[in-house]
Amino acid sequence: MKSVTISTTKQERKAPVAQQQQLPKKTATQKFHVLPLSPCQDPHALITKRAYELHCERGYRHGNALEDWLDAEREILSQYNGQ
């Protein structure tokens, strides 16, 4: 077999290096005043805990995870809306 070498006539161009864009510095007015929720205040954690409790109460039956979750969600969110 004959080997073939392919050469190009075009010069390879290197892409220009992008300059790093400087982000605007944050000012005091841009700070967020959101405190992290503790596990006892986090609705997702409460729903998770309650769904597991429902799973236990129902005898650890498999196949009812969605039902347990929706029931727990309904209970927890109704407590939040009632406040």
Q: Is the pLDDT of residue 18 over 90?
A: no
Mean pLDDT of the region 17-43: 62
To the nearest 10 degrees (0 to 180), the angle between helices 65-82 and 43-57 is 130
Distance (Å) of CA 43 to CA 22, 25, 37, 52, 69: 38, 34, 9, 14, 12
Backbone CA torsion sign across 60, 63, 64, 66:
positive
Element (H, E) at 54: helix 43-57
pLDDT of residue 79: 87
